[in-house]
Structure 1
């Protein structure tokens, strides 16, 4: 019966150690104020729209004022996904 060949090197060689560069996460400082600002501004937009008998903040938009308010709130939720 034939014999198997002998390996010349080890079966597993771990990868060489790599130094990880220091990562500065300065973009995270903007996310929290942006998120909270969008939530508050969207809520205020909708509340002002209802309390002003649907004439303010922008009377030319009519029912689209609701879309603007909810769009700001959705932007706040999207920003909350980036917050660590």
Structure 2
């Protein structure tokens, strides 16, 4: 009795989903802006503490800390989108 021809088996590879597509790297400006925001927030808070509340904006008192953290937080949020 003749033997039947074997079928080629499909190769098993990684599943291709929309999230596993190759992503483009970030724009050239992304890294400098991210680092600048983090450092600017840090400098804002340090300036407030060193100047004993006289700088950077004297009339808003402790809101200077919130502004500094907000600026730094914007930089840290950008790190979640970082691709190399």
> Which interval holds the TM-score relative to the shorter structure?
0.5 to 0.7
Runs (5+) with no aligned partner, structure 2: 1-23
Offset of residue 76 of structure 1: 0.5
**Bigger radius of gyration, 1 or 2?**
1
TM-score (norm: length of structure 2): 0.65
Q: TM-score, normalised by structure 1?
A: 0.65
User: Alignment RMSD, CA only?
Assistant: 2.0
Aligned to 2:78: 79
The secondary structure found in structure 2 opposite 1:28 is: coil
Is the counterpart of residue 31 in structure 1 residue 69 in structure 2?
A: no
Aligned to 2:53: 54
Q: Which runs of 4+ in 1 moved over 6 A?
A: none
Shift of 1:82: 1.5
CA distance in 1 between partners of 2:29 and 2:47 (Å): 27
Map Cα deviations across residues 23-53 of structure 1 (whole Å, 9 max, x no partner). Answer: xx58522211111001110000000000001
2:44 aligns with 45
Q: Which residue of 2 aligns with 1:18?
A: none
Question: 1:83 Cα shift?
Answer: 1.3
- Which blocks of at least 5 consecutive residues in structure 1 are unaligned? 1-24
